[in-house]
A = this chain, B = another copy of it.
Amino acid sequence: MSRQTGPKAGKPEPLATPMEDTGGIDFEIIELFFFAYRDFVSDPDAILEKSGFGRAHHRVVHFVNRNPGMTVADLLDTLKITKQSLARVLKQLIDSGYIRQVAGPEDRRQRKLYPTKSGRELALALAEPQSRRIERAFEGASAQVREGVKAFLRGMRDRKKAD
């Protein structure tokens, strides 16, 4: 009488039923999002490897190219990482000549970040396969659906507290 099968047994029974739309949760789209992002970020990896950079460098190069003159604080806020994490990556990009720092004209404590010509080229090269993938995913989609996808992605972001 020592063998239990209830919740306090040493070996709880394994469940054989797939987890499906329990409680109105759409597991399919959760997975679709995972797979989509996994493959989306894998595109630039081959290009990055040539420069000895990783995905963190990609993100920095991208946002500095999109917002030239942004400060280090701006970048930290965008990436939601700590300055110690950013430091290594940013230093390597500056040392390699992809990004330049300029002291802020008003506030000289600030370091305004700008891409160099090769920084711009790198950002474009990295965006290119991602853009092609997106275009492929949109094939046959109406303008309404395209706008709907963008609205969906916007809606997935955290709401900011004080904007």
Q: A: which residues have CB within 8 A of B?
A: 7, 11-19, 22-40, 42, 59, 62, 65-69, 80, 97, 100, 102, 114-120, 123-124, 127-128, 130-131, 133-134, 136-139, 141-142, 144-145, 148-158
The reply to whether B116 and A14 form a contact with Cβ atoms under 8 Å apart is: yes
User: Can you list the 6 inter-chain pairs with the closest CB atoms, starting with the nearest?
Assistant: A14-B114, A137-B155, A145-B148, A36-B156, A32-B153, A19-B65
With A37-B33, A130-B30, A150-B32 already in contact, the answer to whether A25 and B124 are too (CB < 8 A) is: yes
The reply to whether B15 and A68 form a contact with Cβ atoms under 8 Å apart is: yes
Q: Can you tell how many copies of this chain the complex includes?
A: 2
The reply to whether B68 and A17 form a contact with Cβ atoms under 8 Å apart is: yes
